[in-house]
Amino acid sequence: MCIRDSDDALRITCYANLTLSVPNAIATRVEKVGGMSVIRNIGCDELYVQRVGGDLTIQNVNNLRISRVGGGCQIMQVNGDLNAERISGSIFASAVAGKVDFTSARSDVSLVLAKGETHIAASGDVTMQYSSETIESIELRSKGDITLMLPKNVNASLDATFGGWDVILTMDGKTNHYGGGHYNVELGKGGELIMLNASGDIVVTDEHYEIKPNEGEPGGMNWFINVDADVDLGNLSNMERKLQKALEKVEKKF
C-alpha cells in the first residue's frame, strides 16, 4: 500500500484488499478498483466513483456520481442527486431523494422509491417506481420493455413511443391496451411530462405494488415488496406477465 500527501489531499493506492474508514464529511473519491467495491455511510457533499472492474454496492451517501463500472451496481439511500454512466451490469437503485440521470446503462435498470426528475437510457429493460405524489419530469428510454409504477391520482402528461405490441395502461382501476407505436394522454389534470420510449412494450400502472423499508431492521437494508392485484385482468395475460416479470426482478434485488 502506498500513501501520499499532496495538494491538500491524502492519496491511497493499494494492490490488495483494502478496508478503509474515513472521517465524516471528508471529500472522498474512489477509482481504479480491480474487483468489487462496497461503500457505506459517506458524509461528504459528493462521492465520485469511477473505473470499478467488478460489482459496486453503495449505501447512504449524499450526491453520487458513478462512471465506468464493469459489473452491476446496487445503490441504496442517496440523499441527493444520482448520476451514473457506462455501467456494464444491471443497476438497482432505491430511495433516491434528488435527480436521477443514468446514461449508457448496458443492461437492465430498476429504480424504486424515486422522488425527483429522472432520465434513464438503458440497453435492457427499465423498471421504475415513483413514490412522490407530485410528479417531476420523467424520461425513460429502453431497448427492451418499460414498466412504470406511479402513485394514485397522479397528474402528468404521458407520451409513449414503442416498438412492441402495445402500451398497457392501468389507472384508477381501469386497464386498456393501445397500439400503433405511439400514445399520449393526460393523466388526472395533466402536468409534468412523462416521456417513454421503448423498443419493446410499455406498462404504466398505479396498481399491484407496495414497496416499503422494513422498519424493524436496523440500517434500512431490508425491504419487502407486496404485489396486490386489485384490477380484474380478464384476458390481459400479456400485461400480467410483463408486470410480474418486472416486479420479480426488483424483488430479487431486495
Give the separation between CA 95 and CA 64, rounded to whole angstroms.
13
What share of the chain in percent tops pLDDT 70? 71
pLDDT at 59 over 50: yes
Q: How does residue 249 score in pLDDT terms, banded at 50, 70 and 90?
A: low
Q: How does residue 53 score in pLDDT terms, banded at 50, 70 and 90?
A: confident
Q: For every residue of the chain, which 3-state class applies, written as one string?
A: CEEEEECCEEEEECCCCCCCCCCCCCCEEEEEECCCEEEEEEEEEEEEEEEECCCEEEEEEEEEEEEEECCCEEEEEECCCEEEEEECCCEEEEEECCCEEEEEECCCEEEEEECCCEEEEECCCEEEEECCCCCCCEEEEECCCEEEECCCCCCEEEEEEECCCCEEEEECCEEEEECCCEEEEEECCCCCEEEEEECCCEEEECCCCCEEECCCCHHHCCEEECCCCCCCCCCCHHHHHHHHHHHHHHHHHC
> Mind listing the pLDDT tens digit for each residue in 114-162?
999 999 999 999 999 898 889 999 999 999 999 898 988 889 999 999 9
CA geometry: angle 155, 186, 112, nearest 5 deg: 50
Tell me if 181 sits within 8 A of 159, measured CB to CB. Answer: no
Of 5-14, 29-38, 162-171, 231-240, the range with the lowest mean pLDDT is: 231-240
For residue 16, the model assigns a pLDDT of: 54
> Mind listing the pLDDT tens digit for each residue in 25-45?
667 778 877 778 888 888 888
For residue 221, the model assigns a pLDDT of: 40
Give the separation between CA 50 and CA 62, rounded to whole angstroms.
16
Q: How does residue 230 score in pLDDT terms, banded at 50, 70 and 90?
A: very low
> Mind listing the pLDDT tens digit for each residue in 184-205?
999 999 999 999 999 998 888 8
Tell me if 104 sits within 8 A of 122, measured CB to CB. Answer: no
